[in-house]
Amino acid sequence: MSFKLAQSLGRIAPALELHAASSKRWNQLPSVAIFTEARRFAGHSHWQNVRHTKEARDKQKAKTAQLYIRAVNNAIKAGGGIRDPKLNSHLASVLAEAKANSVPLSTLERFIKAEFTTDPYFIEVQAPGGLFILIESCAKSVNAERHQIAGLVKRYGWVQTVLVSTFHPLVSYRCSLSTAGKIASEFFDRLAWICVPGGPGSNLTDLDAATNFGIDIGANDVEEVTVDGQIAFKFYCDPSNVEQMRLLLERDHSIQPMSVEDVLVPKCKVQVDSKAYANLLEMYERIRDQHEYVDRIVDNVTVVGDSQQD
């Protein structure tokens, strides 16, 4: 071996030993690093699971509260507009049920006091092809409510109708400050119904008996339904006569209505496919989740080859 080569190896050897020592120490690190990462991600996953579970639970609570807000609204209507549960038995019953189901009464009481609410109004949405959507709200900030819902509809509002073969946006947004907006009055019939118990043990044993009784009290139509496994009958009338009919049932016939509601029935329907309908349902769900004072959403949609409706 030459002197120069030996000298070069002498300089390189310490560096090689240092590199080998470093590599040895470095090779011991991955197991620790991987273990740490695994623990971190395991914790992250657990946190995500907890978060998603909580979000799902909160979402369900919000939905339940929304159902009771609507029930409170109907109870106020059934009680002649009286917002005091001491003077409105319908309202008192709804609040008692809500409390039994652990619904925060503060939310319902805020609605009852009308601190953030006003009389119901419609945000009306129109699409080419004759598709109409009515979104009923009682939020006091009408312009903000309309603007926010319009923005959400724009993000979801691409639907395809049978009459219009191409996709069109929901382009028209109208807000009526009354319960009878332009679209609501021109393209929907407004009816009201009172649901009362029937079946064995009552005078309304069957549909024939209920029909004869309906004629006596001035109902326009009667329908047999099932409520919690019990036979019941819905008596339909003009919304302006519903309070008179309710009082007639309670005072003259000692019949306590199970529920009272006004409904909007489309005069004609527009056909959409299941994909477009699923898009609409998702939009409705988002609207309800984000706007606690939206009472109901009504449309004139029918699904091609499917009778299910929202």
pLDDT of residue 15: 47
One digit per residue, pLDDT tens: the chain, 310 residues?
Answer: 544 444 444 454 444 444 444 444 444 433 333 333 334 444 445 445 555 555 566 556 666 777 787 788 778 877 777 888 888 888 888 888 888 777 877 778 877 776 667 777 888 888 777 888 888 888 888 888 888 888 888 787 654 444 443 444 444 444 444 444 677 788 898 888 999 999 888 889 899 999 999 999 999 999 999 988 889 999 999 888 888 888 889 889 989 888 888 888 899 998 888 888 888 888 899 998 888 788 889 999 988 865 455 4
**Residue 182 to residue 174: CA distance in whole angstroms:** 9
pLDDT of residue 112: 77
**Residue 76 to residue 216: CA distance in whole angstroms:** 26
Q: What is the pLDDT of residues 6-20, one digit of tens each?
A: 444 445 444 444 444
pLDDT of residue 24: 45
pLDDT of residue 231: 92
pLDDT of residue 57: 62
pLDDT of residue 304: 81
Dmax (CA) for the chain in angstroms is 126
pLDDT of residue 58: 58
The architecture of the domain spanning 125-310 is 2-Layer Sandwich (3.30)
Tell me the whole-structure pTM to 2 decimals.
0.57
One-letter amino acid for residue 183 of the chain: I
pLDDT of residue 170: 47
One-letter amino acid for residue 122 of the chain: F
pLDDT of residue 99: 83
Q: What is the pLDDT of residues 160-209, one digit of tens each?
A: 444 443 444 444 444 444 444 677 788 898 888 999 999 888 889 899 99
pLDDT of residue 223: 92
Domain spans, the chain: 60-112, 125-310
Contact 303, 270 (CB under 8 A): no
pLDDT of residue 9: 44
